[in-house]
Chain A
Amino acid sequence: MERYLLTITVFLPLLGGLIILLIPKGRDELMKWVAAAAAGLAFLVSLWLLGPFEMGSAGMQLQERYLWIPGIGINYHLGVDGLSLPLLIMTALLSLLSVVYSWRIEMRLKEYLFLFLLLETGTLGVFVALDFFLFFVFWEITLVPMYLLIGIWGGPRREYAAIKFFLYTLVGSLAMLLAIMLLYFNAEPRTFGILELIQQQPLARVPALAALAFWGFFLSFAIKVPMWPFHTWLPDAHVEAPTAGSVILAAVLLKMGTYGFVRISLPMLPETFKLFAFPIAILALIGIIYGALVAMAQTDLKKLVAYSSVNHMGYVMLGVSAAAAAVGVPEKAHAATIALNGAVFEMIAHGIITGALFLIVGVIYDYRAHTRGVAEFGGLGARLPLYTGVTMMAMLASLGLPGLMGFVAEFLIFVGSFGVFPELTALAVTGVIFSAAMFLWTIQRIFLGPLNPKWAELPDLDRREVISLAPLAALMLAFGVYPRPLLDMINVAMTSLVAVLR
């Protein structure tokens, strides 16, 4: 059983989705329960992974490896380490909570649940695939369900947002495919295995090809992250997507990009990454400042959260590029490790916090006020105490209040990258001020001041909403106060990564 745990985690949602397809129309309750069971079981199995997972060991664990297309050296190869396991568990958790949140979806329920579970299988697979072919297949499988989720259940401009998302991501993926091919054909023996290629460093002696491959991966990951200036699909997609779609998009799909940078770009092409680390750090810095400033100017809550994602993913990329710039410089290895720890911690933190924020926006928009205009609220604090509490907690966590999860992440990133890029980091810290201003101002406009009489009758959170929000709030606080278990796990993986780079 233990040998197949990863496969089970990844494919349980798909299995649930296929079962749902067989359920006759009209049995809505049954379909929802099957979906919840599939997502719930996947989450439980992902937690179960923590048992056999050895915290102290740095290599890939729980590996599964079978021949898939032996004719051209493609294997079905899965495995987890301290980088991917937290992301895997986070993905399973957020998918489960999103299914719970989606309980009230009525329109074309069968298709919705099937696509959602297919999306979950794709995202889980990306984080555990250790063969480029398999990685690419999972990477691309996420596109179609997300396209349809936005396109069918989205807001007024859904068609535009959906196709824009699809086109942008496909450009990147195909560039990545060419980069993969460059690695494959220069390897000896030829292989699509990610670990084998990292060991071989096939392009180390051909800097021109290495640069081409690097930019191929970069385009793909940077669009997904999204880094400035590749971010323009993000506000559209986030705003138009249905709530659960926004949650997965922000919490999981964006992480696929940063995960790619850490898992692939950094160890696969370290010298090349080092060469371009500074310009990439500049892009990250622009993303930080730009994201925060544009978020401040938004009156649409969803857009505001979307741009705050650009800001936060900028922090992650600052940490990653700082680590890249430290490649080959032993005295900066310590700083690089801290920066990477922060970056990976921020991936999890941003997933949990922004996932919660999008659910929070959904709560007020989908079933209550049907508006997301920040300016149209006011004084909700007295009317909706529970909702206000959760929202303030998530927003404060997002702006980096000590004691909550976001602070730990940002602190580590700044400490780490200060050792490499002191000037850039100093500028990046101003982003924190802007995002603090933005979130505090938002809290003020929505929850403080006189109550807008229009909203006098709004009900507070119901049970289903509490179930989907409470775990996230608890995690924000728990890892904010005591980040050590998570950080230990990440640290082992990042330390060994930096050691390899040195």
Chain B
Amino acid sequence: MPIPIEDLWSLVPEFWLAALGLLLVLLDLFLPGDRKRLVGWAAVVGLLLVLMPILGMLGTPARTVFFNTYAVDGFAVFFKIIAVVATILVILSTMDALRGHTSFEGEMYVLLTFAALGVCLMAASADLILLALSIEFVSLSSYVMAGYFKSDLRSNEAGIKYFLFGAASSAVMIYGFSILYGLTGETNLYAIADRVRTAPQPALVLAVGMALAGLGFKVSMVPFHQWTPDVYEGAPTPVAAFLAVASKAAGFAALVRFLMVAIEPGPVDWVAPIAGLSAVSMTLGNLLALPQRNIKRMLAYSSISHAGFLLMGVAAHRGDFGAPGLLIYLLAYTFTNLGAFFVAIAVGGRLGSDEIPSYAGLAQRSAGLAAVMALFMLSLTGIPPTGGFLGKFYIFGAAVNNGLLWLAVVAVINSVVALYYYVNVIRVMYLLPAPSGGSASGPVPLRLALGVAALGTLVIGIFPQPFVTLVGAAAMLLRM
């Protein structure tokens, strides 16, 4: 069966990313050691260019290509935008962060580009096999990046830990996929949706549960979250930022498509367990974030807790606030959390410490850096007028709308708990006196990335209508 030519046209972004990655490998090969930075800039330019075909797909009718294995719809486009933008920002932030730790700078940009491709594939996969493959694709790039500092034991630990956890949960997930295939005789999500009604219950529950293990690992959902703090702490900070944002977004894309397309028509009640896991994730993540002294570990536990909030959006997916809320939360979280990690890069690079107490008096040493960090912390808490608030507003609304008031109350309590450790960072920066020591402002690319993250956080909070339209379109297409 020949592949129709239009199908190839809808894959331009993916081809572009793959070609870009290969081109960067070549470029890295021929550039002398002190000019590897150019690989990074080439990656940024290439990624900016790929945004054009992606944005061009906005508003085109939803369809599947390649024998129904690959979805081309607003939902996928939305996640591709997140993937590419996040990767651009992470590459900008990487440019100074690797110096002194490793001489392999160029390869990092290559890996990030390939990981971005993997995220795009994950978001668009409409077939269990392609889904499993793309998850592995993202994972393999991430394992290498997490253990990137070969001489640093913590980074090694991060890489190995991430690999072991990832391999195990992938195995469980693929086993779940195979049971699902056995029950329905299909690997295509849309085809499964037609057959899942008649699938025998207990086996189906088992299959869905096992699939959740793999996807839950990617999004740091409790109880598959244990790797998160160690990996975030040990991995190079830009990599931690990528894992916390792009990799998590991809996990949610796959989770949402899997549950809402394939499983939703079936007899399995997945809303209640997801709601339960949401409550457990946000609570556990928050409680463990409270005593953290290391900013990266704190952000890791906060990322577990945010996974809980996002799962609340998955559980409350019906209505105008559900799925759009999940997407807008993810969008705001992308900018906010990237920004928080970028500040950690800037401070860590200058002060050589990721401990929160070393942020003391940052407001007087570098007012701008402290101000944007305060903005990010408030956005993570969900204080207006930030994007984080809009996300929470939507998700709370969705919970109320879907009759999950108990979950909304749990989320309220958790938001108050979360305030304590987020504001603690503000307290340290603004209320504590500065010890001696110079100012901590980052190099130009990092400052650029920080500026974009801060702007994104604010704009989503103050002028949300364009984003509301965007996620509205993305979530509508998902439902068909």
B232 at the interface (CB under 8 A from A): no
Residues of B within 8 A of A184 (CB): 397
Query: From residue 154 to 203 of chain A, which have CB atoms closer than 8 A to chain B?
Result: 158-159, 162-163, 166-167, 170-171, 174-175, 177-178, 181-182, 184-185
In the complex, are the beta carbons of A178 and B405 less than 8 A apart?
Answer: yes
Query: From residue 404 to 442 of chain B, which have CB atoms closer than 8 A to chain A?
Result: 405, 408-409, 412, 415-416, 419-420, 423, 426-427, 430-431
A284 to chain B: closest CB distance in Å? 26
Q: Report how far A182 CA is from B430 CA in the complex, Å.
A: 37
A328 to chain B: closest CB distance in Å? 28
The answer, among A137, A151, A163, for a CB contact under 8 Å with B420, is A163
Query: From residue 336 to 394 of chain A, which have CB atoms closer than 8 A to chain B?
Result: none
Q: Report how far A304 CA is from B406 CA in the complex, Å.
A: 40
B464 at the interface (CB under 8 A from A): yes
Interface centre among A72, A171, A175 (most CB of B within 10 A): A72
Residues of B within 8 A of A171 (CB): 412, 416
In the complex, are the beta carbons of B416 and A167 less than 8 A apart?
Answer: yes
Q: Report how far A182 CA is from B415 CA in the complex, Å.
A: 19
Q: Report how far A171 CA is from B420 CA in the complex, Å.
A: 12
Residues of B within 8 A of A147 (CB): 423
In the complex, are the beta carbons of B431 and A151 less than 8 A apart?
Answer: yes
The answer, among B405, B409, B415, B469, for a CB contact under 8 Å with A71, is B469
Given A144-B383, A148-B430, check contact A174 B412 (CB 8 Å): yes
Given A69-B465, A140-B384, check contact A170 B415 (CB 8 Å): yes
Residues of A within 8 A of B416 (CB): 167, 170-171, 174
Residues of B within 8 A of A108 (CB): 364
Report the contact-size class of chain A (Cβ under 8 Å from the partner): 35 or more
The answer, among A152, A166, A178, for a CB contact under 8 Å with B419, is A166
Name the CB-closest residue of B to A110. B367
B445 at the interface (CB under 8 A from A): no
In the complex, are the beta carbons of B427 and A151 less than 8 A apart?
Answer: yes
A62 to chain B: closest CB distance in Å? 23
Q: Report how far A151 CA is from B424 CA in the complex, Å.
A: 12
SS class of chain A's interface: helix, strand, loop or mixed? helix
Given A171-B416, A174-B412, check contact A151 B430 (CB 8 Å): yes
Name the CB-closest residue of B to A209. B405
In the complex, are the beta carbons of A137 and B384 less than 8 A apart?
Answer: yes
A136 at the interface (CB under 8 A from B): yes
Name the CB-closest residue of B to A133. B393
Residues of B within 8 A of A70 (CB): 465
- Cβ proximity bits A64-76 to B, threshold 8 Å, 1 near / 0 not: 0000111110000
In the complex, are the beta carbons of B385 and A175 less than 8 A apart?
Answer: no
Residues of A within 8 A of B430 (CB): 148, 151-152
Residues of B within 8 A of A175 (CB): 412
Q: Report how far A72 CA is from B393 CA in the complex, Å.
A: 11
B389 to chain A: closest CB distance in Å? 8
A300 at the interface (CB under 8 A from B): no
Residues of A within 8 A of B405 (CB): 178, 212
B447 to chain A: closest CB distance in Å? 18
Q: Report how far A178 CA is from B420 CA in the complex, Å.
A: 21
Q: Report how far A141 CA is from B401 CA in the complex, Å.
A: 26
Residues of A within 8 A of B384 (CB): 136-137, 140-141
In the complex, are the beta carbons of A71 and B423 less than 8 A apart?
Answer: no
In the complex, are the beta carbons of B468 and A143 less than 8 A apart?
Answer: no
B412 to chain A: closest CB distance in Å? 4
Residues of A within 8 A of B321 (CB): 72
A111 at the interface (CB under 8 A from B): yes
Q: Report how far A315 CA is from B416 CA in the complex, Å.
A: 30
In the complex, are the beta carbons of B468 and A71 less than 8 A apart?
Answer: yes
The answer, among A143, A159, A181, for a CB contact under 8 Å with B401, is A181
The answer, among B363, B393, B427, for a CB contact under 8 Å with A177, is B393
Name the CB-closest residue of B to A168. B416
In the complex, are the beta carbons of A185 and B465 less than 8 A apart?
Answer: no
Name the CB-closest residue of A to B383. A140
B51 to chain A: closest CB distance in Å? 24
In the complex, are the beta carbons of B420 and A167 less than 8 A apart?
Answer: yes
In the complex, are the beta carbons of A167 and B419 less than 8 A apart?
Answer: yes
Given A72-B320, A72-B321, A163-B427, check contact A185 B419 (CB 8 Å): no
B378 at the interface (CB under 8 A from A): yes
Query: From residue 443 to 480 of chain B, which have CB atoms closer than 8 A to chain A?
Result: 464-465, 468-469, 472
B114 at the interface (CB under 8 A from A): no
B356 at the interface (CB under 8 A from A): no
B396 at the interface (CB under 8 A from A): yes
Residues of B within 8 A of A68 (CB): 465
Name the CB-closest residue of B to A136. B384
A188 to chain B: closest CB distance in Å? 14
Q: Report how far A108 CA is from B434 CA in the complex, Å.
A: 13
Query: From residue 62 to 92 of chain A, which have CB atoms closer than 8 A to chain B?
Result: 68-72
B400 at the interface (CB under 8 A from A): yes
In the complex, are the beta carbons of A178 and B396 less than 8 A apart?
Answer: yes
Q: Report how far A208 CA is from B415 CA in the complex, Å.
A: 25
Name the CB-closest residue of A to B392. A177
In the complex, are the beta carbons of B385 and A141 less than 8 A apart?
Answer: yes
Query: From residue 322 to 342 of chain B, which have CB atoms closer than 8 A to chain A?
Result: none
A28 to chain B: closest CB distance in Å? 16
Name the CB-closest residue of B to A71. B468
In the complex, are the beta carbons of A159 and B400 less than 8 A apart?
Answer: no
In the complex, are the beta carbons of B397 and A159 less than 8 A apart?
Answer: no
Query: From residue 411 to 447 of chain A, which have CB atoms closer than 8 A to chain B?
Result: none
The answer, among A111, A148, A181, for a CB contact under 8 Å with B397, is A181
Q: Report how far A4 CA is from B110 CA in the complex, Å.
A: 53
Q: Report how far A158 CA is from B430 CA in the complex, Å.
A: 13
Given A140-B383, A175-B412, A177-B396, check contact A185 B468 (CB 8 Å): no
The answer, among A140, A166, A178, A212, for a CB contact under 8 Å with B423, is A166
Q: Report how far A174 CA is from B399 CA in the complex, Å.
A: 14
Q: Report how far A409 CA is from B378 CA in the complex, Å.
A: 39
The answer, among B385, B400, B427, for a CB contact under 8 Å with A178, is B400
- Cβ proximity bits B238-278 to A, threshold 8 Å, 1 near / 0 not: 00000000000000000000000000000000000000000
In the complex, are the beta carbons of B431 and A152 less than 8 A apart?
Answer: yes
Given A111-B363, A159-B431, A163-B420, check contact A174 B415 (CB 8 Å): yes
A409 to chain B: closest CB distance in Å? 33
Q: Report how far A174 CA is from B400 CA in the complex, Å.
A: 13
Residues of B within 8 A of A163 (CB): 420, 423, 427
In the complex, are the beta carbons of A170 and B419 less than 8 A apart?
Answer: yes
Q: Report how far A216 CA is from B49 CA in the complex, Å.
A: 49
Q: Report how far A167 CA is from B384 CA in the complex, Å.
A: 15
In the complex, are the beta carbons of A71 and B396 less than 8 A apart?
Answer: no
Residues of B within 8 A of A159 (CB): 427, 431
Q: Report how far A69 CA is from B325 CA in the complex, Å.
A: 14
A245 to chain B: closest CB distance in Å? 14
In the complex, are the beta carbons of B464 and A185 less than 8 A apart?
Answer: no
Residues of B within 8 A of A72 (CB): 320-321, 468
Name the CB-closest residue of A to B400. A181
Residues of A within 8 A of B427 (CB): 151, 159, 162-163
Name the CB-closest residue of A to B319. A185
Q: Report how far A263 CA is from B468 CA in the complex, Å.
A: 30
| Residues of chain A having any CB pair with chain B under 8 Å | 68-72, 108, 111, 133, 136-137, 140-141, 143-144, 147-148, 151-152, 158-159, 162-163, 166-167, 170-171, 174-175, 177-178, 181-182, 184-185, 212
Q: 9 closest A-B pairs (Cβ-Cβ)?
A: A181-B400, A71-B468, A174-B412, A137-B384, A151-B431, A181-B397, A185-B401, A140-B384, A171-B416
What are 13 sample pairs from A and B whose C-beta atoms fall under 8 A apart?
Answer: A69-B464, A69-B468, A70-B465, A71-B468, A71-B472, A141-B385, A147-B423, A148-B431, A152-B431, A159-B427, A174-B416, A177-B393, A178-B412
Given contacts A137-B384, A141-B385, A151-B430, 14 further A-B pairs with CB under 8 A are A69-B468, A133-B393, A144-B378, A162-B431, A167-B416, A170-B416, A171-B416, A174-B416, A178-B409, A181-B396, A181-B401, A185-B397, A185-B401, A212-B405
| Residues of chain B having any CB pair with chain A under 8 Å | 320-321, 363-364, 378, 383-385, 389, 393, 396-397, 400-401, 405, 408-409, 412, 415-416, 419-420, 423, 426-427, 430-431, 464-465, 468-469, 472
